[in-house]
Amino acid sequence: MTRPLHLAVALDGAGWHPAAWRLPTARPRDLLTAGYWVDLVRRAEEGLVDLVTIEDALALQSSDPTGPDHRTDEVRGRLDAVGVAARVAPVTQHVGLVPTATVTHTEPFHLSKAIATLDYVSQGRAGWRPQVSAGTAEVGHVGRRTSWTDPRGDDPAARQALVDLFEEAGDAVEVVRRLWDSWEDDAEIRDVATGRFVDRDKLHYIDFEGRSFSVRGPSITPRPPQGQPVVVALAHAEVPRAFAARSADVVLITPADDATAAAQVGEIVAVRRDAGRTGPDHVFADLVVLLDDDAARATRRWSQLEEWWGRAFTSDAEVFVGTPQGLADLLVARAETGLTGYRLRPAALPQDLDAIVDGLVPELQRRGAFRTAYEAGTLRDRLGLERPANRYATGGLS
């Protein structure tokens, strides 16, 4: 019996290959329209996937982290991912919606209420992918950092800067999570006899004091339907993996082979245990995928993309070019390393999303490795995550 996999689809622009927008199936003029995103997410929902992620950054897309690269042959310009997720929510029913939002230059209070509200407007399908911004471009866009050390170098100062950035990210997620719990579920009482709308004893100051900031609380937004929306974090290296293991419910990794996958899963589970994290240890591997029922056609399309782009595309994640059957083989086999699922990054949208829905998903279903229908419930339910008790609830009878 094959263990059922979880599947996420990563949505970004016209797809993950920089030349994908040139394919005849692409819709490069629609990338800023609601209709484009609604179509993509509905398509993903037809494929019964657990969730979609939506990429974002506080900067224009660029190959240069210090600023624009002035390329004219790639997609440039994007929408705020939380806004896109919220726009899609009322016209979808099942799929989880996980926008990316930066923690480095933003206010945890705003992030907390935004994701809580996404959970309300999606009726319990919200997640969040907190993203550390390590680029200097974003520093200039926000302009509030009085000092900035580039964390991408190999010297001790850069390494410390990286550790600091992820520690700050951990603080931000902690604040967001505390704010989600700052209202007990039954805080709203509407007691006409006493005239009280809320029981203020069930609203809690979070009084977070971190190394670089403090937040008082409570949130202005009541506790969201899932209690704690699902936090998803991408981790390529040791420092981000430690952050992700401690702070996230689903950790995304980018192994190039089975051995690396097994080692990273082990590392993440160990950090989770040390941090006292309970529940399923969800680790998904990211893969860039280009699919066609005919392997030769898949290769030809990939070659076309490479030719258009004029270079060899490399990614942090492994690239799979081939048939849905071949990909299903890989996914099922690699799950033996302890991975619970995958986040697939379609090389081209909507074409490779269509191939996931029409090709890969039926292939996995035939192997008993994927659901054949959505069950009712929240995104947490789908991932086997219990609705957590509120950390501030005393639970006693009064």
Q: Which of 251, 240, 255, 235 has the alpha carbon at shortest distance from 336? A: 255
Considering the complex, what minimum distance in angstroms separates the CB of residue 365 from another protein?
Answer: 30
Q: Which is nearer to another protein, 3 or 110 (CB)?
A: 110
Pairing of strands 188-191, 196-198: antiparallel
What is the number of other CB atoms lying within 10 angstroms of the CB of residue 212? 9
Considering the complex, what minimum distance in angstroms separates the CB of residue 73 from another protein?
Answer: 5
Q: Which is nearer to another protein, 94 or 113 (CB)?
A: 113
Q: Which is nearer to another protein, 142 or 256 (CB)?
A: 142
Considering the complex, what minimum distance in angstroms separates the CB of residue 316 from another protein?
Answer: 21
- In sequence order, the β-bridge partners of residue 319 are 288
Q: 264-291 burial by CB neighbour count: b if 16+ within 10 A, else e?
A: bbebbbebbeeeebeeebbbbbbbbbbb
Q: Which is nearer to another protein, 25 or 325 (CB)?
A: 25
Q: Which is nearer to another protein, 71 or 391 (CB)?
A: 71
Considering the complex, what minimum distance in angstroms separates the CB of residue 197 from another protein?
Answer: 6
User: Which H or E element spans position 40?
Assistant: helix 34-46
Considering the complex, what minimum distance in angstroms separates the CB of residue 40 from another protein?
Answer: 14
Considering the complex, what minimum distance in angstroms separates the CB of residue 219 from another protein?
Answer: 8
- Whole-angstrom Cα distance, residue 145 to residue 53? 29
- Whole-angstrom Cα distance, residue 353 to residue 327? 14
- Whole-angstrom Cα distance, residue 63 to residue 356? 28
3-class secondary structure, 286: strand
Q: Which is nearer to another protein, 99 or 359 (CB)?
A: 99
